[in-house]
Chain A
């Protein structure tokens, strides 16, 4: 490096150049997230995510517009409960897989981690910065989806579409997103190959949790409070006049006089929120601990 390049800082004697003090870690988290976000927003994965939102939006809009089911178009609460509350969890799961699935594993596989690890940053900063970027990207997709549904609702209900219940439900969806991304990041930091990480995250969130949830409730007959997807119906609760009963047991008479009983559970409102926040906290802590111990071999 010739003398053509101005040395950093004020005129300090050569060779005694003081090291630059790095910014506080929380500032680094947001600076890192900013560049990570720039990478996400310009990448194909973001276009893919918006594409999924658009496809879902087009299908919902045209099906509702064509059939105009009366049950749906009675009140905006009804509309949101049946359309938004279910579909938004799909959007959130896709966002989790697309932005979270390879977030950590990709740093190893693509060797971008070696670029970051040469910098004066804590491992937790890298993890958190990536989390913030994935969260913001997913949030943008969530807002886009909410806007499509609000637009539809406004078409049928006018200003009656903009309800406090919807805002409440949206916030619950954001909490669910926090939790789900936390869990995908944890899965992602268990792998050093992106494909495995994405595959495992996708399978777990699309089938895994609901199968386990059904098994736990149906066979072991306990409340599956430790399964993240169990909490997701809470997103629809703001639209319910009465929240579903916590435990429903259906007993039926079998062929030879056997009785079989089937119990299903619904989370209470508070329980649902606690499960989601709990998932966020526990997975964040576990993921950070795991990443703290990972080597860049």
Chain B
């Protein structure tokens, strides 16, 4: 364990009468990636901005490595790489100069800058643009430079607010690779996102908030085990259209199936209490019943089921 930590104590933010974040108590430590999940407007950015002293809490306090952000932002942020709200970089600077600025302000020795800066620019695939002015870059390119800026001093803690914002699909995949790389090197990553596959893909733990309230914070495995007590749905496509009689006789009667929904003549959605073995058994059953299955896939990930059920409960 790295011993690094991110903590919020009773963190609250009000905008006028509106409570954007309501007494958030969260303590994250060790080396892992924690996904900070929630729908738009849930309070993710608000939380991250208070963790970096961009916003002031209405009450409560934040700590990075035990140092109060509100009392000493300078020291608290030394351990962090920060990317919040897709910032802009001074347009006349090049990515290399912008990263030099960050490295200078963070005291990265010049000799080390000579190695780190090209390396992180390569990491975010911006080497070819290293000496062009940022002013004319696209949103995605700027975001890549922003990611590089958060990594340039090789920080033990990363606070990332929807880092994949503005990136193309390949860029999103690259961000995931970067985060996975950070995990391998035992960094502590706190990353907000509303992209569930991204979270499932790279995070070890998830914290879910909605309407400024924390719904849960646990490991991904525990979360899916604890909250998906309902059902998993599986979408199945067939070569031939199925009649109602076929559905009743050959599908609904299979053990493990709770409910069947016919989406269109060649497509069914099956509900099952779940488990991989159960699903495999159902697939075998369909085939032995003589049905030609084209595809068989969970319609939502386990996290998505949890997410949707938890979010809708709050509304």
Contacts and interface: CB of A to CB of B under 8 A. Distances in A.
Interface of A: 1-9, 14-23, 25, 28, 31-32, 34-36, 38-40, 42-43, 110-115, 117-123, 125, 293, 295-297
Contact of B74 (A16, A22, A39, A118): A22
B19 to A, nearest CB: 15
B92 A38 contact: yes
B119 A115 contact: no
Contacts of A16: 2-3
B113 to A, nearest CB: 10
Contacts of B300: none
A31 B116 contact: no
A112 B181 contact: no
| Most chain A C-beta atoms within 10 Å of own C-beta, residue among B84, B101, B102, B186 | B101
B75 interface: yes
B185 interface: yes
Interface of B: 1-4, 31, 49, 52-56, 65, 73-93, 97-98, 100-102, 104-108, 112, 115-116, 119-120, 123, 146, 149-151, 153-156, 178, 181-182, 184-187
Is the contact region of chain A dominated by helix, strand, or loop, or is it mixed? loop
Contact of A8 (B53, B76, B153, B182): B153
A15 B74 contact: no
Given A118-B84, A295-B55, A296-B49, A6 B75 contact: no
- Going nearest first, the 8 A-B pairs with the smallest beta carbon separation are A15-B186, A118-B82, A114-B87, A15-B2, A19-B79, A296-B54, A1-B181, A115-B87
A114 B74 contact: no
Contacts of B83: 118
Contacts of A2: 123, 181
A240 B129 CA distance: 57
Contact of B65 (A3, A5, A19): A19
Given A35-B98, A117-B54, A297-B49, 17 more contacts: A1-B123, A3-B185, A5-B119, A6-B115, A18-B156, A19-B79, A31-B104, A32-B101, A35-B100, A110-B88, A114-B88, A119-B77, A120-B77, A120-B106, A122-B73, A293-B56, A297-B55
